[in-house]
């Protein structure tokens, strides 16, 4: 059985006449920690949405946690996301006025689990990210770094094998950002596959693997030092991170 959590083969995504992602090949194995890096408009968000099964590709194969998404209904895709993928975004998306414990527990609202179990799992997740002393605090009582840790606790609540973090330090100061990055490294060390979407080259350079996008193309993967032919102008491009 393959240990790949993410498999993309020839994946493209178009919006009318615009090609946001082109012929992407990417394999991410269980337990990896990597960055997907590139400037605004490079295709990072599209790649994130396809890996997270929020969008279907226009062409190509997408297999997430062993499941070929092309054969899944929308309902089955939702179930796959719920069990296999956790999401962390630059904005924390916490409900104002609601205690931290309930903000996290609500991540399991549609799981069918009783309320007491949801809150027990939420408390465990919050303690895992170092916020066991903030269970009854409201979001406005937390620092930016603490809010992001709450969002991470919610994302890993069901122990998904894959965590997608989209610019997780973008709204934070440098100290809080480093705390969040250290937490993501700790989660990875415990077995979670972590993919960080970022425009920050320093973050990318500090991780074991960096996949660089430009104009919808994967132009460099530090794992195998690939150069990718730019089909628009026939020029082979190498990107150094």
All domains in the chain, ordered by first residue: 4-237 (3.40.50.300)
User: Cα–Cα–Cα angle for 105, 170, 47, nearest 5°?
Assistant: 80
Integer Cα distance of 27 and 107 in angstroms: 28
110: confidence class by pLDDT, cuts 50, 70, 90: confident
End-to-end alpha-carbon separation of the chain, Å? 33
pTM for the full predicted model: 0.88
Asked if 37 contacts 196 with a C-beta cutoff of 8 angstroms, the reply is no
Does residue 238 surpass a pLDDT of 90? Answer: no
φ/ψ of 96, rounded to 5, equals -65, 140
Own/partner long-range contacts of 102-105 (Cβ < 8 Å, ≥24 apart): 103/139, 103/150, 103/154, 104/150, 104/153, 104/154, 104/157
CA torsion sign, 112 to 113 to 119 to 124? negative
Cα torsion for 171, 127, 129, 158, to the nearest 10°? -100
State what percent of residues in the chain have pLDDT above 90.
83
For strands 67-68 and 217-221, give the pairing. Answer: unpaired
Q: Say whether pLDDT at 217 is over 80.
A: yes
CA gap 91, 115 in Å, rounded: 26
């Amino acid at each position: 059985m393959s240990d790949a959590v993410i498999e993309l083969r020839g994946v493209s995504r178009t919006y009318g006449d615009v090609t946001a992602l082109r012929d992407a090949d990417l394999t991410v194995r269980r337990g990896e920690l990597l960055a997907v890096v590139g400037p605004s408009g490079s295709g990072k968000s599209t790649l994130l949405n396809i890996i997270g099964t929020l969008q279907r590709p226009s062409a190509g194969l997408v297999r997430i946690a062993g499941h070929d998404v092309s054969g899944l209904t929308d309902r089955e895709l939702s179930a796959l996301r719920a069990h296999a993928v956790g999401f962390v975004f630059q904005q924390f998306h916490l409900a104002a006025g609601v205690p931290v414990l309930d903000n996290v527990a609500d991540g399991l609202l549609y799981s069918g689990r009783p309320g007491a179990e949801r809150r027990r799992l939420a408390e465990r997740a919050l303690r895992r990210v170092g916020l066991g002393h903030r269970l009854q605090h409201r979001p406005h009582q937390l620092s930016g770094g603490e809010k992001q840790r709450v969002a991470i606790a919610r994302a890993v609540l069901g122990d998904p094998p894959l965590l997608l973090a989209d610019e997780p330090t973008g709204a934070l100061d440098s100290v809080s950002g480093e705390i969040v990055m250290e937490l993501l490294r700790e989660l990875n060390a415990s077995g979670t596959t972590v993919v960080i979407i970022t425009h920050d080259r320093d973050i990318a350079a500090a991780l074991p693997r960096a996949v660089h996008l430009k104009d919808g193309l994967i132009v460099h993967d530090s794992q195998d030092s690939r150069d990718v032919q730019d089909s628009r102008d026939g020029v082979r491009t190498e990107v150094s991170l």
